[in-house]
Chains A and B, each alone.
Chain A
Amino acid sequence: MSAIEIKHLTYTYSKKTPFEHTALKDVSFVVEEGETFGIIGETGSGKSTLIQHLNALIKMKDGEGTILGKSLKDKKQLRQIRFDVGMVFQYPEYQLFADTVEQDVAFGPKNMGLQKVEIERRVRRAIELVGLDFEKFAKRSPFELSGGEKRRVAIAGVIAMEPKILVLDEPTAGLDPQGREDILALVKKLKEEVCPTIIIVTHNMDEIAKEADHIIALFKGEIIYNGTPLEVFSHEDFKEKTRLEYPTATYIANEIRKQGVDIKQVVTPEELVSELARIKEGKNV
């Protein structure tokens, strides 16, 4: 069973008004369990609209979809799907509302109707998983934290629901390089310890090239490419068709290739380095 299957999904905002706008056109893809799945696309290409379908925040109109075998069109399953798919939105720190970090993180588990003991266990675990000291942070107001800490608390609020699939919409937007790295490390940790299936939406090609097993590239609501990072970034018309940039490593390799050097396609800095080492040795020998 695949984690997610979407078939022929089309979605139009403000249908039948002068503001009508088709945000998704005939989108189909499959996410396997245990995969890190990347969604890329320029701003306005429909990424957020797409992921909001994945936990039925937007009702599916045209198309079919199943999440862990449950149909997105089955009203009785919607609640369960919401709990199966954890959703961390763009700038999640703006969702904080409670008096203390502990209460805020407990909001989701409480809504699930869990026992008090279980809620406490999950809250503590989630706060510690995102790398915050429970004793130090639990009783503090979420509004007094730094931006990065707020984001961690917000992510903890989703993690505490122990979803089977975690969707992150631009988790690193607006953070400094260190903050970005921390969040990516956190995502890796969550993948290992909480939910193996992860979907990341991002503008940052370097990050996605490194993290994802599989990516889809959207442009104006349509899937242009669907494949492994290597496959997707190997397309020569990638830039024109998606209006995105290549990952830095791919860009450098492409430039080197233009100089007539026989270099393989790469997507991560590590691959680039080993490729360069291979060429250097080949030449030296």
Chain B
Amino acid sequence: MFKDISFGQYYPANSFVHKLDARTKLLLTIVFIVALFFIPSNATNRVDQAWYGYFGYMVTFAVLLVVIIFARVPIGSILKSIKGVLFIIVLMAVINLFVSNQGEVLWAWKRLHITDTAVHTTIKLILRLVLLIIGASILPLTTTPVAIADGLESLLKPLGWIKVPIHDMAMILSIALRFIPTLFEETQKIVATQKARGASFDTGNLFKRAKALIPILIPLFVSSFRRADELAFAMDSRCYNATNKRTKYRVNRMGWRDLLAFLFMNAYLVVILLDRYYWVFEMDRIIFGGWLGK
């Protein structure tokens, strides 16, 4: 049922990115994050290098645009994930703006000062964080939590050889994920019941409010334990045991889409690496040459 997946960020659609294997998306998210951190974010001491890195961010932006178009998720749902951390980004940006001593001072007041290097560093920091969050939000937007858990289990399988109980951990994770919407629904029901009995949760001081949660938390715990009991019983009666040789109901296979996605994202990584180590920001010099130096 639709209610079972309506938590977290998952946005149901039938797009290219939705159809990718969860493992592909997990790996490519890592590739993306690695690539992003190869783009310089702090300007070097040399003033003529202040613009270095902007080309990389432009490429990243273009890549994300392509991914978003192929994922068919609305921009609004992506912006929502930025909104959640907006405060942190602003805070980091403000601190960054004032700490740098290098470069030419553009503005000063008492002991505070802003240099041109600091401005560049801050812009790059913001770009990096925003692009990071956008990129990382593609995975949960296009993949159900259960598929992510399955994918993780599959990717972490090698750890099983050194006796890490991967399967148990994956089982715990998928049960937890499975029960989040159930508990959420349960919570709503209990809140409604206690509200009908005149409980209010948004009045009084902090202590009063915390106390008002007791009539919610206790029934919630009671029913969680009951559910856990029932589930354990149901698993036992189906002879569940966590051996390594269990087969999966849903078998994931990689296909041509996954191949294309790998090629695309790795091409992006290569461009970023080339930009940094082989061209040594030649592109930045070509594009922003007019502003470089003095």
Interface residues of chain A, those whose CB is within 8 Å of chain B, are: 14, 17-19, 21, 52, 55, 57, 79, 82-83, 85-87, 89, 92, 94-98, 107-108, 111-112, 143, 157-158, 161
Which residues of A sit under 8 angstroms from B223, Cβ to Cβ?
Answer: 94
Interface SS of A by simple majority: mixed
A194 to B189, CA, bound (A): 26
Which B residue sits closest to A14, measured CB to CB? B6
In the complex, B219 has a CB within 8 A of chain A: yes
Which A residue sits closest to B196, measured CB to CB? A87
A161 to B193, CA, bound (A): 13
In the complex, B215 has a CB within 8 A of chain A: yes
Give chain A nearest CB distance to B17 CB in angstroms: 16
Among B189, B190, B197, contact of A107 (Cβ-Cβ < 8 Å): B197
Do A52 and B192 touch across chains, with their CB atoms under 8 A apart?
Answer: yes
In the complex, B251 has a CB within 8 A of chain A: no
Do A83 and B190 touch across chains, with their CB atoms under 8 A apart?
Answer: no
Which residues of A sit under 8 angstroms from B218, Cβ to Cβ?
Answer: 97
Which residues of A sit under 8 angstroms from B199, Cβ to Cβ?
Answer: 107, 111
Among A17, A112, A143, contact of B198 (Cβ-Cβ < 8 Å): A112
Which residues of B sit under 8 angstroms from A158, Cβ to Cβ?
Answer: 196-197
Per CB-CB distance, the 8 closest pairs between chain A and chain B, nearest first, are A111-B198, A97-B218, A87-B196, A108-B197, A95-B193, A97-B215, A19-B6, A57-B192
A158 to B13, CA, bound (A): 44
Number of A-B contacts (CB under 8 A): 66
What mask results when residues 1 to 35 of chain B are scored 1 for a CB within 8 Å of chain A, else 0?
Answer: 01100100001110000000000000000000000
In the complex, B214 has a CB within 8 A of chain A: yes
In the complex, B244 has a CB within 8 A of chain A: no
Do B198 and A92 touch across chains, with their CB atoms under 8 A apart?
Answer: no
A87 to B2, CA, bound (A): 27
Do A108 and B198 touch across chains, with their CB atoms under 8 A apart?
Answer: yes
A52 to B195, CA, bound (A): 11
Most buried by B among A83, A96, A111: A111
Q: Can you name 27 A-B residue pairings with CB atoms under 8 Å? A: A14-B6, A17-B6, A18-B11, A19-B6, A52-B192, A82-B195, A82-B198, A86-B196, A87-B196, A89-B189, A89-B192, A89-B193, A94-B186, A94-B193, A95-B190, A97-B214, A97-B219, A98-B215, A107-B194, A107-B197, A107-B198, A108-B198, A111-B197, A111-B198, A158-B196, A158-B197, A161-B197
A96 to B197, CA, bound (A): 12
Do B11 and A111 touch across chains, with their CB atoms under 8 A apart?
Answer: no
Give chain A nearest CB distance to B182 CB in angstroms: 13
Which residues of B sit under 8 angstroms from A112, Cβ to Cβ?
Answer: 198
Give chain B nearest CB distance to A188 CB in angstroms: 22
Give chain A nearest CB distance to B198 CB in angstroms: 3
A52 to B192, CA, bound (A): 8
Which A residue sits closest to B3, measured CB to CB? A19
Which residues of B sit under 8 angstroms from A57, Cβ to Cβ?
Answer: 192, 195-196
Do A92 and B222 touch across chains, with their CB atoms under 8 A apart?
Answer: no
Do B222 and A143 touch across chains, with their CB atoms under 8 A apart?
Answer: yes
Which A residue sits closest to B5, measured CB to CB? A19
What mask results when residues 178 to 217 of chain B are scored 1 for a CB within 8 Å of chain A, else 0?
Answer: 0000000010011011111111100000000000001100
Given the known A-B contacts A97-B214, A143-B222, are A92 and B193 also in contact in the complex, defined by CB atoms under 8 Å? yes
Give chain A nearest CB distance to B94 CB in angstroms: 34
Among B186, B190, B197, contact of A157 (Cβ-Cβ < 8 Å): B197
A143 to B226, CA, bound (A): 12
Give chain A nearest CB distance to B38 CB in angstroms: 36
Give chain A nearest CB distance to B112 CB in angstroms: 44
Which residues of B sit under 8 angstroms from A55, Cβ to Cβ?
Answer: 196
Which residues of A sit under 8 angstroms from B12, Cβ to Cβ?
Answer: 18
Instruction: List 19 extra interface pairs beyond A87-B193, A92-B193, A95-B193, CB under 8 A.
Output: A14-B6, A17-B6, A19-B6, A79-B198, A82-B195, A82-B198, A86-B196, A89-B196, A95-B194, A95-B197, A95-B219, A96-B219, A96-B222, A107-B194, A107-B215, A111-B198, A111-B199, A112-B198, A157-B197
A82 to B199, CA, bound (A): 10
A86 to B194, CA, bound (A): 11
Give chain B nearest CB distance to A108 CB in angstroms: 4
A94 to B193, CA, bound (A): 9
Which residues of A sit under 8 angstroms from B215, Cβ to Cβ?
Answer: 95, 97-98, 107
Give chain A nearest CB distance to B197 CB in angstroms: 4
Which residues of B sit under 8 angstroms from A17, Cβ to Cβ?
Answer: 6
Do B196 and A82 touch across chains, with their CB atoms under 8 A apart?
Answer: yes
Do A111 and B200 touch across chains, with their CB atoms under 8 A apart?
Answer: yes
A21 to B2, CA, bound (A): 10
Which B residue sits closest to A105, measured CB to CB? B197
A17 to B76, CA, bound (A): 11
A19 to B197, CA, bound (A): 30
Which residues of A sit under 8 angstroms from B222, Cβ to Cβ?
Answer: 94, 96, 143
Do B219 and A94 touch across chains, with their CB atoms under 8 A apart?
Answer: yes
A94 to B220, CA, bound (A): 8
Which A residue sits closest to B11, measured CB to CB? A18
